[in-house]
Structure 1
Amino acid sequence: MRLCGVGDNVVDRYPDLGVVYPGGSACNVAVHAGRLGARAGYLGSIGRDAPGDLIRHCLASEGVDIRWARYGDHPTAWADIKLDAQGNRTFTDYRAYTEELRLRPADLDYLASFDLAHSGHTSLVERQLAEIARVTRVSFDFSYKDMSYARPLLPSVGIAFFSRPALDREGCEGLAAEALALGPRQVVVTCGDRGALLATPEHRVWQPAVSTTVVDTLGAGDAFAAQLLVALHAGAAPEIAMARAAAYAAAVCRHPGGYGYPADLAALYEDPMPPPTQEETT
């Protein structure tokens, strides 16, 4: 499988712990897909600052193709996170990068070399989603966004992800049915520790959450999405793909950060990292 994350990158800061991790949904999914055997790429704008250097270095270290990433003078987005005793995370502050990602014809040619482009509501690609869908299949994470946001985008989406931890079973199935009617072949509704639903025109698969010792829930949804996408593309039955995704997400919850690579928070905002070597970028 060939998967490209398109859009956001961010550093996840834990002020209480004095540590920071690379993140962002598009990057997280690309990294986890690569770890699961996919050929992974990333297309987005990375800041020319120390947090951006961390993101670039970590993506390259994971073998994610970043040759088509852009580098801008904008500051890297960050999210401040607090963990409770159960490892559940709360975002306490956030600074977004708000410039729309504008794709060039060469970018679309690059995306056409992938089986799937994964993006989401934080990636600022809404106005170009139809163009992406013309060259490759689109996976899109709507997260908590409602149908007024999702409705105009769903015709361009092949597999849609929603997060509804407070919605009951009937509500999740209703949301999935409404989304399916607008174009996607598959709709996933994640419900936190209550599990997740995969809906297709032919099937409804409910997967319970896998019990685990939780250290940090950050990035679990992205890990779930990556494993599900890889398994479905490999031809796994929906029930098998969902079980693998739940198990993989549970494993990620046992470790801090979206995909590892801790850095010292104070040092990161003082001294830039060295750029990656040529071997890391090819």
Structure 2
Amino acid sequence: MPIPRILSFGDNVVDCYEDQKLMYPGGNCLNLAVFAHRFGAETFYGGAVADDPAGRHIRRALLAEGVDVSRLRSLPGNTAFCVIGSQGGDRVFLGADLGVSIVGPEAEDLALMSKVDAVHTGRSSHIDDWAPHIAARSRLSYDFATAHEIVRLMRVAPHCHLASFSGGELSREQALGLAHRAAGLGARHVLITRGAKGALLLSGSELTETRAEIITPLDTLGAGDTFIARVLTGLLRDERPADLLAAAASEAAQTCSWHGGFGHAAPMEVELHLSKSVAEIYRLTKAIPAPALT
């Protein structure tokens, strides 16, 4: 079976656990690069960190996990961070700063996209305008997270090989409706994770569902990214939908048994005075423009 090659391009942070005074590497794209490698893919991470304790820790963790960091840039400024609290095992975001993490693809990144089997990015990376450029070079995997609005769907879903959504608050009927909307716009596969209610995968007219594993979570951070990574690698290996969904549910449950997205704790060293609310970050952060596709 060929080994899938995946470039994960976009957001990264260190997740700072206030009660532990520890930071863990994280962010949707960073997590996916690590988990997809754990699931047997050859993975590359493209993004930006600063030359500070958090940035150096992210680079060390990626190297320790076997992820190729040749497209990880080092820029002046501060590495992105998110301050995490906990309520009953669920993550609570207390504040964040995106630092230097929001960057667009460079020529070398675009060249690499043409050589891999899939490119993953998502809402938190703020590069939606680049979706057609990515899809012209490779299969696009995109994490919409909780962004279900039709404007974003119309802009990105037509270019998606895999469109993933977080739908823990959705009923089954609402989740199915969302999946069919994304598929109707052109997404080849649509994944909706629903927390304790399981997940569904719509591939053309084929609908597959799985139950969540019943666990008492220590920390749910990274579970959704784990699920997406396992589904993406499974699709690239042409695994049966029922098998890859069951495996993804099991791996996501395993992720809930440790702190941080994929571990690698270090003493917390970030500029907390830069912290902003999540709402303020989404209000202030500008999307990275892309040139017209020719």
* Structure 1 and Structure 2 fold alike (TM over 0.5): yes
**Distance across 2 between alignment mates of 1:269 and 1:163:** 29
- Counterpart of 1:116 in structure 2 is 118
- Counterpart of 1:235 in structure 2 is 238
| Amino acid paired to 1:255 | W
Please, which of 128, 143, 146 is the counterpart of residue 144 of structure 1? 146
- Counterpart of 2:27 in structure 1 is 24
Are the aligned partners of 2:231 and 2:244 in contact in 1 as well (CA < 8 Å)?
A: yes
Report the secondary structure of 2:69's partner residue: coil
Q: Is 1:164 paired with 2:167?
A: yes
Match runs of 1:269-280 below 5 Å: 269=270
- Counterpart of 1:134 in structure 2 is 136
1:111 to partner: Cα distance: 1.4
- Counterpart of 1:275 in structure 2 is none
1:104 to partner: Cα distance: 2.5
Match runs of 1:13-162 below 5 Å: 13-85=16-88, 87-97=89-99, 100-146=102-148, 147-162=150-165
TM-score, length of structure 2 as denominator length: 0.87
**Distance across 2 between alignment mates of 1:159 and 1:203:** 14
**Distance across 1 between alignment mates of 2:36 and 2:79:** 23
Seen in structure 2, the aligned counterparts of structure 1 residues 52 and 99 have a Cα distance that, compared at 3 Å, is closer
Report the secondary structure of 1:158's partner residue: strand
Report the secondary structure of 1:91's partner residue: strand
**Distance across 2 between alignment mates of 1:84 and 1:102:** 35
**Distance across 1 between alignment mates of 2:172 and 2:194:** 9
**Distance across 1 between alignment mates of 2:5 and 2:47:** 17
Report the secondary structure of 2:115's partner residue: coil
1:148 to partner: Cα distance: 2.2
Please, which of 192, 197, 202 is the counterpart of residue 195 of structure 2? 192
**Distance across 1 between alignment mates of 2:265 and 2:130:** 33
TM-score, length of structure 1 as denominator length: 0.91
Please, which of 252, 255, 261 is the counterpart of residue 252 of structure 1? 255
Report the secondary structure of 1:205's partner residue: strand
1:102 to partner: Cα distance: 2.5
Runs of 4+ in 1 over 3 A off after TM superposition: 97-100
1:166 to partner: Cα distance: 1.1
Report the secondary structure of 1:37's partner residue: coil
Q: Considering only aligned residues, what root-mean-square deviation do their CA atoms show, in Å?
A: 1.4
**Distance across 2 between alignment mates of 1:54 and 1:165:** 32
**Distance across 1 between alignment mates of 2:270 and 2:94:** 19
Are the aligned partners of 2:48 and 2:100 in contact in 1 as well (CA < 8 Å)?
A: no
Structure 2 unaligned segments of length 5 or more: list them: 272-294
| Amino acid paired to 1:210 | E
Deviations 1:184-210 (A, max 9, x none): 110011111111110121211111111
1:99 to partner: Cα distance: 6.8
Are the aligned partners of 2:11 and 2:102 in contact in 1 as well (CA < 8 Å)?
A: no
| Amino acid paired to 1:192 | G
**Distance across 2 between alignment mates of 1:258 and 1:231:** 20
Percent identity between the aligned chains?
A: 36
**Distance across 1 between alignment mates of 2:212 and 2:104:** 37
Are the aligned partners of 1:212 and 1:251 in contact in 2 as well (CA < 8 Å)?
A: no
Please, which of 261, 264, 267 is the counterpart of residue 264 of structure 1? 267
Structure 1 unaligned segments of length 5 or more: list them: 271-282
- Counterpart of 1:279 in structure 2 is none
Figure out how many residues of one structure are paired with residues of the other and give that number: 267
